[in-house]
Structure 1
Amino acid sequence: MADLWLSLLKSAARKKEINTRTLWILGGSNLLRKQFIDKLIDSAKSKSFFVQSSAETQVNSFGLSYAYADIYDREHEELILRLNIYTLSSVAETLAPLLVDLLKRDETMLEDLLVVLLGDWDEPRRLIRDLAHSILFLRDKIFTTLDPEIKSRALQICSNRYQRLHNISFTETYQPSSKLSGIEMPLGMGELDAPLGVDIAVAVMNADHIDILERKYGRKDDEFDFIQQFLRTILLKHGASLIYLSTESHQLFTFIHYLISPSLESDMSRDLVVETSRQVKPNVVDREAVLIPSGWDSWSKILVIKGSFDADGVSSSWTSEVLGDEGEQASVIEVYEEVVHAFGGKPIGLYKEDEEGIEIKPLSSQEFLKSQLNELNSIEAK
């Protein structure tokens, strides 16, 4: 009888257990990170879900910030998912111990972690260098400090989740109702051949500015295609996802929900990954709403955009140079920056031009403080 009651209690506890997942938001400015979190929370509000979250998104400039979002099923008013969201003020070696400490305090966090790397269409020429910096930061400053057994287990879990998404993407694309759904489909060339042991999504913000780049700076579709192909080829190696976000984007939560759904195990989310796969539609045509789910992409799909793109060369160079000895000094990054720059017109961003075409360079911190000295003195006098 005691065993029966114990079994019933354990069963009830499992039903009430909250699915908790962790997001790390790295890269971008404070404003960009706040915009991403706000968009994530806003996009979760729908006919199916309602959200309770931090009263106000806190993103500071001095280390680690935290926010949360509790996602409820609207019909049953049941909490189905809690997102713990951490942001880092800078992808810098000095701040790496903050993230390492999180992982060491909770050894299971790595297994259920999604790292979101932010990019910005205000500065398309920086996308690949920033991506390399973030990936090397994760590999060399975070994961190398962890226990080998923890890393090995996380790598296996991450690879299994990717394979599951890959299987679903294949069967949904080619044989939606076939018996292939139970078969493990082989990976393609350049696919998940450099796993980090963590799920990664790259979100490129301000996709509305693609139109500005075209109208004001004369950028063409060829350049936007090249940037997309370059990003996708690299992200394919790490099993990562890609999404472009504009002010009109409303699919962010569905996209994030899909990426983490293979690790959700409650009764309500058992078939969630298949259900959400029908809502997350890959898009490579609408240049302001590109969406590449993890497990869907391949070299053949990348080359559909433009067959002359050297996916093999980019993939091999990324492995031998960026992930090898050269790091951020790799020639493959320089090639990307030279090609993007050669399309003509300065990208908006760090170095903007005034109406007369004079380049305006940012002041150093000392120059800025000197220029504000009189105002600071007056404030102190008051």
Structure 2
Amino acid sequence: MAGHKSSQGRREMSRKESEVDTGQDVENLWSTLLAEVQTSRSAQLPTTKSLLLLGDKESGKTTLIAKLQGNEDPKKGSGLEYGYIDVRDEYREDHTRLSHWILDGDTSHTNLLTFALTEENYADTTVLLCVSMTTPWNIMDQLQNWASLLQDHIDKLPLSGEEVKKYQTETWQRWQEYTEPGDEQEVASPTKRGRGLGEVEGEPDLEPLPEGTLARNLGLELLVVVTKTDYMMELEKDFDYKDEHFDFIQQAIRKFCLQYGASLFYTSVKEDKNCDLLYKYLVHRIFNFPFKTPALVVEKDAVFIPAGWDNDKKIAILYENMHSVRPDQYYTDVIARPMSVVGRKQQSSKELEVVAEEEQNFLGRQQHLLQQGVPPGGGGSGGVIPAGVQKTPDRKVVGSPGVQGSPKKMEGTPGKPLGANTSEGVLANFFNSLLTKKTGGVSPGLVQSPATLGGGSPQPETDCKFYSFLV
């Protein structure tokens, strides 16, 4: 009996142990699934990345971002505008949204940068400085102005000295580690995966940069975008721009990019130049997408210079084409604002709207002149031709006052007044018929010709003046 109870206890303990083991297996299975989910989530595209577009009014910011979005009907906003770009990774079948902030060209709205660039999203923000080729004489002033405003905003952020140094070091390292696409001899470092996708262990070993390069390191991913490059043809035709002028503009912008460690893009939404390349470069720098396009400097309206590629020696190649200008000249001394542009702006501001005289007032005034016997083209305030009345081709159709008869034919028909066969008589009947049709209150016999009232033949000079007014 005792042996039976002992065997039964052993079976019960074994059953409980098996239940415990099964529970442990279930718990281990859930832990494995959670670990896999966390791993897959870490491999997904980040959702915290954003773009910040700065530039003057009419610099093409809204049109450019609409092109990157695939939006064919862009709407301009005011103040600080928010939107996003859909980004898809076809290899990993993943997608995310790249946020963008557009600050309008009013510098009084720079206080709104508080919402777009903060200490929390500083490392995840890419800044685009936009300038337009429609006003090349303003390009350098605009770049310097917006870069200074951006620097002022950064100085107000509660960033510690260690954080600022870290961001600047990352920018320095990305600049030095640039390699031409397709160069398989170089091994990509963890920093090439972009900020937020990998951590740099230890203090990086940085080589000194040439003088002037990254002299104003903001610790941000920075791009300079020159928009509306299709306007270069208009500059050549209307303002006599030569290749050396465009080379001078390019070398000045590239020197600015060297100072800030920025990439450079020449784009044209109208001609669809470099827009798709800009999108690919952005997702490459931000999300580590593959990118295989080297620097482009052959076409003057489609320049592309990635950050880390350029240097003073490469810029000096542009000097060879400058014969009448020097690269060290002040920018606006070479690329000056044309006087014709100023004149057009002043003229357009002084243009006044011209309103045509109301038809019945005109006809009534002519009726009064005919009753007074005053030639319509004569002196006095009543004979002044209104500014709103101009010659039109339909005044020369058959049956109009300027076509019937000749002012030099003065002979009258026997038995009829002289004025009935003259142009004044025909003119009086013409105005009477118009007034009768419009108002219905004027008698055809009310208006008499000046010849009948004056008792003499009309003067050929008067007829010619009046015809010149009507024809």
Q: Which has the higher strand share?
A: 1
**1:97 equivalent in structure 2:** 111
Q: Aligned pair 1:249/2:272, yes or no? A: yes
Code of the residue aligned with 2:233 in structure 1: it is: D
Render the CA deviation track for 1:2-32: whole Å, top value 9, x for unaligned: 7545423321332345444211111132682
Q: Which secondary structure does the structure 2 equivalent of 1:210 belong to?
A: helix
* Aligned counterpart for 2:69 among listed residues 41, 54, 60: 41
Q: Distance in 2 between matches of 1:29 and 1:196?
A: 24
Q: Distance in 2 between matches of 1:39 and 1:152?
A: 38
Q: Distance in 2 between matches of 1:287 and 1:347?
A: 25
* Aligned counterpart for 1:261 among listed residues 255, 275, 284: 284
Shift of residue 34, structure 1, vs aligned partner: 1.8
Code of the residue aligned with 2:184 in structure 1: it is: S
Q: Distance in 2 between matches of 1:347 and 1:21?
A: 44
Alignment of 1:129-278 (within 5 A): 129-140=141-152, 142-149=153-160, 152-153=162-163, 156-157=166-167, 159-161=169-171, 163-169=173-179, 172=181, 176-179=183-186, 187-246=209-268, 247-259=270-282, 261-264=284-287, 269=288, 272=289, 275-276=290-291, 278=292
Structure 2, unpaired ranges of 5+: 1-27, 190-204, 356-471
Q: Aligned pair 1:295/2:308, yes or no? A: yes
Shift of residue 152, structure 1, vs aligned partner: 4.7
Q: Which secondary structure does the structure 2 equivalent of 1:148 belong to?
A: coil
Code of the residue aligned with 2:87 in structure 1: it is: I
Shift of residue 109, structure 1, vs aligned partner: 1.3
**2:299 equivalent in structure 1:** 286
Equivalent residues of 2:224, 2:262 under 8 A apart = yes
Equivalent residues of 1:41, 1:253 under 8 A apart = no
Q: Residues 202, 179 of structure 1: CA spacing in aligned structure 2 closer, same or farther, 3 A cutoff?
A: closer
Equivalent residues of 1:116, 1:201 under 8 A apart = yes
Equivalent residues of 1:114, 1:199 under 8 A apart = yes
Work out which structure has the larger RCO, using CA pairs closer than 8 Å and 6 or more positions apart in sequence. Answer: 1
Q: Aligned pair 1:85/2:119, yes or no? A: no
Equivalent residues of 1:242, 1:290 under 8 A apart = yes
**1:71 equivalent in structure 2:** 87
Alignment of 1:53-64 (within 5 A): 57-61=74-78, 63-64=79-80
Q: Aligned pair 1:338/2:333, yes or no? A: yes
Shift of residue 41, structure 1, vs aligned partner: 2.2
Q: Residues 304, 27 of structure 1: CA spacing in aligned structure 2 closer, same or farther, 3 A cutoff?
A: same
Equivalent residues of 2:171, 2:217 under 8 A apart = no
Q: Aligned pair 1:24/2:52, yes or no? A: yes
TM (norm. structure 1) is 0.69
Shift of residue 162, structure 1, vs aligned partner: 5.1
Shift of residue 185, structure 1, vs aligned partner: 6.4
Shift of residue 285, structure 1, vs aligned partner: 2.1
**1:47 equivalent in structure 2:** none
TM (norm. structure 2) is 0.57
**1:10 equivalent in structure 2:** 38
Equivalent residues of 1:245, 1:289 under 8 A apart = yes
Q: Residues 29, 84 of structure 1: CA spacing in aligned structure 2 closer, same or farther, 3 A cutoff?
A: same
Aligned length: 306
**1:351 equivalent in structure 2:** 342
Q: Distance in 2 between matches of 1:135 and 1:74?
A: 36
**1:360 equivalent in structure 2:** 346
Equivalent residues of 1:158, 1:199 under 8 A apart = no
**2:455 equivalent in structure 1:** none
Structure 1, unpaired ranges of 5+: 43-52, 315-331, 354-358, 375-382
Shift of residue 362, structure 1, vs aligned partner: 6.1
Q: Which secondary structure does the structure 1 equivalent of 2:342 belong to?
A: coil
Equivalent residues of 1:68, 1:84 under 8 A apart = yes
Equivalent residues of 1:282, 1:292 under 8 A apart = yes
Q: Distance in 1 between matches of 2:86 and 2:187?
A: 35
Q: Distance in 2 between matches of 1:243 and 1:33?
A: 13
Equivalent residues of 1:190, 1:299 under 8 A apart = no
Q: CA RMSD in A?
A: 3.3
Shift of residue 257, structure 1, vs aligned partner: 4.0
Q: Which secondary structure does the structure 2 equivalent of 1:177 belong to?
A: coil
Q: Residues 153, 361 of structure 1: CA spacing in aligned structure 2 closer, same or farther, 3 A cutoff?
A: farther
Equivalent residues of 1:124, 1:347 under 8 A apart = no
Code of the residue aligned with 2:235 in structure 1: it is: L
Equivalent residues of 2:62, 2:102 under 8 A apart = no
Equivalent residues of 2:82, 2:102 under 8 A apart = yes
Equivalent residues of 1:351, 1:360 under 8 A apart = yes
Shift of residue 184, structure 1, vs aligned partner: 6.4
Render the CA deviation track for 1:278-327: whole Å, top value 9, x for unaligned: 12x31222111011111111001100111598xxx96xxxxxxxxxxxxx
